[in-house]
Amino acid sequence: MLRFGDDVQASDREFIQSAASWTQRYWGQPAGSVTVYAYTTLDALLYAFTQDCACPSQLSTYLTLFRSELAFPGHFTTTAQGAMLVWVYSEGWRQSDRMTGGAYDRLRHLTHTQFHSIQRALGIGRTDPPWIAEGSAEYSMARVMAANGRMNFQAERASIASEVASMTTKLSDLEERTFQAPVRAPYALGFLAAEYLASKYGEQSILTYWRSLGAILKPRYDRGDYAAVGAWQEAFGQAFGLPVAEFYRQFEMYRAGGFVLR
Ligand SMILES: [Zn+2]
């Protein structure tokens, strides 16, 4: 479901619609349905969304999100329900026009955020480590962009691998949101980890992880347990069939070998 404000121009509707349908088409039915709200004022955006979800108490949460760094460059964010909110023509939207590549950067951000919507719709909550959350969103962005002729996947991968070459951070250092490492670390190392998992266990195993996480968390949330201790590790084991610690060991070996996929 896509809902637009009347004053969103046709070309921008088409742009948002394309990004949403590309991500959906790439991952297929298991990704669930896409819900996007695109409006030109924050008031209209939050009004439309809260009317549908009947959650006015969350209004201040999303206002804060949009004003914080959590909302990727200030014009996209995802809700706990997995809907994507796009603040069209906002400062962040206009800024991304001024970046090198203009609409290209916005398309990167849009497809990246689209995968966060899928994560949240399937996995509920945000209890997952930054390397999985950001890494799989970056991986999805690159696959989706490449599938639609907007990116050379191998060139993107090579640039990320060279970025990682100067990092000493380990994947296991990126489990907490308060990680001590370069800000790009969960995106770059996480991208390579997601690609490695997808190539070893199949593309859909990434979605299986998020679905397993949702299935583990739902009964806990229903009984008011939001601590989610051990949930993502359990989901990881279900989706990929090995403990996280073993994966970290394998990944660092793969890294030492120069990220050569077999
Ligand atoms: Zn992100």
Handedness of CA 159, 165, 167, 172 (dihedral sign): positive
Distance 194 CA to ligand 1 centre (A): 14
Place of tokens 């070998």: 257
Rounded distance, CA 217 to CA 126, Å?
10
Distance 109 CA to ligand 1 centre (A): 8
Distance 56 CA to ligand 1 centre (A): 25
Query: For position 216, what pLDDT does the model report?
Result: 94
Q: Which band of pLDDT confidence, cut at 50, 70 and 90, is reported for residue 70?
A: very low
Distance 216 CA to ligand 1 centre (A): 23
- pLDDT tens per residue across span 101-123: 567 888 888 899 889 889 988 88
- pLDDT tens per residue across span 164-217: 999 999 999 999 888 888 889 999 999 999 999 999 999 999 999 999 999 999
Distance 206 CA to ligand 1 centre (A): 16
- pLDDT tens per residue across span 21-62: 899 999 998 777 778 999 998 888 888 888 877 666 666 777
Distance 80 CA to ligand 1 centre (A): 14
Q: Which pTM does this prediction carry?
A: 0.89
Distance 13 CA to ligand 1 centre (A): 22
* Edge-to-edge strands, sheet with 76-78: 2-4, 36-39, 84-87, 76-78
Distance 41 CA to ligand 1 centre (A): 22
Distance 79 CA to ligand 1 centre (A): 13
Distance 252 CA to ligand 1 centre (A): 23
Distance 57 CA to ligand 1 centre (A): 24
DSSP 190-242: HHHHHHHHHHHH-TTHHHHHHHHHHHHHHHHHHTT----TTHHHHHHHHHHSS
Q: Which band of pLDDT confidence, cut at 50, 70 and 90, is reported for residue 78?
A: confident
Each domain of the chain, given as residue ranges in start order, spans: 2-123, 130-256
